[in-house]
C-alpha cells in the first residue's frame, strides 16, 4: 500500500510537470505560429530545434512534412493533399495523446481500489471487536472500542 502511494505521488508529479512544460511549449509555439512567420520557415525552425514537450509543434511538423511531400509530386489533387495532411496529423495527435495518457491506467486503478482497502480495514476492526465480545462476559464499550478503533 505504501509502495502504491509513493508510486502514485511520483507519477502525479511527473504528469503535472509534463503538462506544465507542454502548456509552456504550446504557448511559445502558438506565439510563433500566429506571428505571421512563413510556415516553411517555421517548419525549418521546428525541425532544427524540436521541442519534445510541444505536442502542437510535433503535430504541425507531421502535417507540414506530409504537405511538402505531397505537393512535390506532380498531378496530385489538392483534395488528396489535404486528406494526406489530415491523416498525418491524426497519427501525430494519437502519438501525443499516448504520451499524455502514460501512467493514467495505474493511477486510475489505485484510485478505484483505495476505498476498498479502507473498507477492508474497517471490516477487520469490526471482526476484532466481535472476537473481543465473544471472550468477554459483559458487552461494554471497553471491550468493543479497541477493535473498532483499530
Give the C-alpha separation, 21 to 55, whole Å: 10
Give the C-alpha separation, 14 to 93, whole Å: 21
Which cell numbers hold the place of 44? Answer: 525549418
Residues 60, 82 within the same domain: yes
For 113-134, b where at least 16 C-beta lie within 10 A, e where not — what string? eeeeeeeeeeeeeeebbeebee
- Looking at residue 114, its pLDDT comes to 87
- Looking at residue 93, its pLDDT comes to 96
Question: What does pTM read for this prediction?
Answer: 0.73
- Looking at residue 10, its pLDDT comes to 94
Residues 116, 127 within the same domain: yes
Task: Please give the angle made by the CA atoms of 67, 71 and 75, to the nearest 5 degrees.
Answer: 140
8-state DSSP, 139 = -
**Domain, as residue range, for 127:** 104-150
- Looking at residue 144, its pLDDT comes to 72
Give the C-alpha separation, 129 to 135, whole Å: 10
Task: Please give the angle made by the CA atoms of 43, 44 and 45, to the nearest 5 degrees.
Answer: 90
Residues 66, 130 within the same domain: no
- Looking at residue 34, its pLDDT comes to 92
Residues 65, 123 within the same domain: no
Residue ranges, the chain, pLDDT below 50: none
- pLDDT tens digits along 44-77: 988 888 888 888 999 999 999 999 999 999 888 9
Task: Please give the angle made by the CA atoms of 66, 52 and 104, to the nearest 5 degrees.
Answer: 105
Query: CA-CA distances (angstroms) from residue 87 to 8, 31, 75?
Result: 35, 25, 20
What is the CB neighbour count within 10 angstroms for residue 55?
A: 20
Structural contact between residues 147 and 126, judged by C-beta atoms closer than 8 angstroms: yes
Residues 109, 94 within the same domain: no
Residues 116, 75 within the same domain: no
Residues 78, 137 within the same domain: no
Amino acid at each position: 500500500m505504501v509502495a502504491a502511494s509513493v508510486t502514485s505521488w511520483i507519477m502525479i508529479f511527473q504528469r503535472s510537470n509534463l503538462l506544465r512544460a507542454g502548456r509552456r511549449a504550446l504557448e511559445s509555439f502558438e506565439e510563433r505560429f500566429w506571428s505571421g512567420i512563413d510556415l516553411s520557415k517555421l517548419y525549418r525552425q521546428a525541425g532544427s530545434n524540436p521541442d519534445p514537450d510541444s505536442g502542437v509543434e510535433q503535430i504541425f511538423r507531421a502535417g507540414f512534412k506530409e504537405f511538402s511531400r505531397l505537393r512535390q509530386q506532380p498531378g496530385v489533387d489538392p483534395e488528396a493533399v489535404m486528406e494526406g495532411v489530415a491523416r498525418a496529423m491524426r497519427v501525430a495527435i494519437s502519438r501525443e495523446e499516448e504520451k499524455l495518457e502514460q501512467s493514467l491506467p495505474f493511477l486510475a486503478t489505485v484510485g478505484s481500489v483505495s476505498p476498498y482497502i479502507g473498507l477492508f480495514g474497517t471490516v477487520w476492526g469490526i471482526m476484532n471487536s466481535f472476537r473481543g465480545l465473544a471472550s468477554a462476559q459483559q458487552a461494554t464499550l471497553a471491550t468493543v472500542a479497541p477493535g473498532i478503533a483499530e
